[in-house]
Amino acid sequence: MSLLSHYNYWIAMALMMIGLYVVMSHANLVKKMIGLNVFQVAVFMLFISLGKVRGGTAPILDPQFTVYSHPLPHVLILTAIVVGVATTALGLALAVRVHEAYGTTDEDDALRRDAAETPQR
């Protein structure tokens, strides 16, 4: 088997690294949320591709089919998509609140402004 035969795993790993880089390199909260979503999609792709069996069908009992794809990863990813949408909505709502409070979505600027407003003892 060649390395190129597993292209779906390589794409998922590349997307994971891109998402992780965006999260770590940007201070903007909205850009961090985008990076987290890219990472999340990569994990979804990885799990879905693990559950697919070449030549497999849906697990419906029929005498003409003997190879089945495993349905559990697909079901788990459906649940993870719902949780991911809710988490993204919460994260963006928090970014809006940070912008309302500090006038910026940049994490470093918000921390700097918060330190300037806090009285020193």
Q: What is the C-alpha separation between 46 and 63, in angstroms, rounded?
A: 30
Question: Which has the higher per-residue pLDDT, 22 or 66?
Answer: 22
28-42 in b/e burial notation, b at 16+ Cβ within 10 A? bbebbbbbbbbbbbb
- Indicate if the pLDDT at residue 118 is higher than 80: no
Regarding the domain delimited by 3-117, which CATH topology (the fold level of the hierarchy) does it fall under? Helix Hairpins (1.10.287)
What pTM was estimated for this model as a whole?
0.82
Averaged over 94-117, what is the pLDDT? 90
Q: Could you report the per-residue pLDDT of 4-40, keeping only the tens digit for each?
A: 778 888 999 999 999 999 999 999 999 999 999 999 9
Distance CA(111)–CA(16), nearest Å, equals 28
Provide the pLDDT for residue 120: 67
Percent over 90 (pLDDT), the chain: 54
